[in-house]
Structure 1
Amino acid sequence: MTDLPADLTAELLVEADVAICGAGPIGAATAYFLARMSPELRIVVLGDDPDDDPGHVSTYRYSGGSIRWTWADPVKREMTAETAEFVQGLIAEGVDLAAIENTYHLLHTGEHIPALNISATRLVSHLLERAADAGAQVIPGAVVEGVRPDGSGHLIETTRGTIRAERVLFALGAANARLFPQSEAELEKRQLFVLDLPVPPERERMPHTIVPVGEGFGYAFVKSVEGHLRVLVGQEDIVEDDDLSGPVDHWETLLESGLATALPWLRDAKVEQILWGVDIAEKKLVLDEPAPGLLLAGCGSSVRSSAWLGRTLAERLAA
Structure 2
Amino acid sequence: MTDLPADLPADLTAELPTEADVAICGAGPIGAATAYFLARKSPGLRIVVLSDDPADDPGHVSTYRYSGGSIRWTWADPVKREMTTETAEFVQSLLADGVDLAAIENTYHLLHTGEHIPALNISASRLVSHLLERAAEAGAQIVPRAVVEGVRPDGSGHLVDTTRGTIRAERVLVALGAANALLFPETDAELEKRQLFVLDLPVPPERERMPHTIVPVGDGFGYAFVKSVEGRLRVLVGQEDIVEDDDLSGPVDHWDTLLERGLATALPWLREAQVDQILWGVDIAQKKLVLDEPAPGLLLAGCGSSVRSSAWLGRTLAERLAA
In the superposition, the TM-score normalised over structure 2's length comes to 0.95
1:35 aligns to what?
39
Once superposed, which parts of structure 1, at least 4 consecutive aligned residues long, lie more than 4 Å away? 2-13
Distance in 2 (CA, whole Å) between partners of 1:181 and 1:115 is 35
Q: CA deviation at 1:283?
A: 2.6
Q: 1:123 to 1:265 in 2, by over 3 A?
A: same
CA shift at 1:292, angstroms? Answer: 1.1
Cα distance in 1, alignment partners of residues 80 and 173 from structure 2: 22
**Structure 2: distance between partners of 1:56 and 1:49:** 10
Select the residue among 111, 114, 119 that pairs with 2:115: 111
Structure 2 residue aligned with 1:173, among 168, 174, 177?
A: 177
Gaps of 5+ in 2: 1-5
Q: 2:108 touches 2:119 (CA, 8 Å); kept in 1?
A: yes
Unmatched 5+ stretches in structure 1? none
Q: Percent identity?
A: 90
Between the aligned partners of 1:290 and 1:318, the Cα distance in structure 2 is 18
Residue of structure 2 aligned with 1:137, choices 141, 147, 151: 141
Contact 1:11 1:161 in 2 (8 A): no
Of 3-12 and 44-53, deviating more is 3-12
Q: CA deviation at 1:20?
A: 0.3
Distance 1:199 1:163, change over 3 A: same
1:214-240 CA-partner distances (Å, limit 9, x unpaired): 221010000000000000000011110
Instruction: Spell out, residue by residue over 1:252-273, the C-alpha distance to the aligned partner (whole angstroms, 9 max, x if none).
Output: 1111111110100000000000
- Does the CA contact (< 8 Å) of 2:12 and 2:143 recur in 1? no
CA contact (8 A) 1:144 1:158 kept: yes
Match of 1:93 in 2: 97
- Which secondary structure does the structure 1 equivalent of 2:286 belong to? coil
CA distance in 1, matches of 2:16, 2:154: 16
User: How much has 1:282 moved relative to structure 2?
Assistant: 4.2
User: Offset at 1:274?
Assistant: 0.3
Give CA deviations for 1:79-132 in whole Å, capped at 9, x if unaligned.
100000000000000000000000100000111111100000000000000000
CA 11–229 in structure 1, closer or farther in 2 if over 3 Å, else same: closer
Name the CA distance, whole Å, in 1 between partners of 2:16 and 2:24.
18
1:56-101 CA distances to partner (integer Å, 9 max, x unpaired)? Answer: 0000000000001111111111110000000000000000000000
- Answer whether contact 1:11 1:162 (CA < 8 A) is retained: no
Are the aligned partners of 2:13 and 2:143 in contact in 1 as well (CA < 8 Å)?
Answer: no
CA apart distance, 1:40: 2.1
Q: Would you say the 8 A contact 2:38–2:315 is kept in 1?
A: yes
Deviation track 1:159-206 (CA, whole Å, cap 9, x = no partner) reads 112111000000000001111111121100000000000000000000
Paired residues of 2:8 and 2:132 also in contact (CA < 8 A): no
Q: What displacement does 1:12 show? A: 6.6
Q: Tell me: CA distance 1:303–1:5, structure 2 relative to 1, closer, same or farther (3 Å).
A: closer
Instruction: Give the RMSD, CA atoms, in angstroms.
Output: 2.7
Q: Identify if the C-alpha distance between structure 1 residues 88 and 311 changes in structure 2 by more than 3 Å, giving closer, same or farther.
A: same
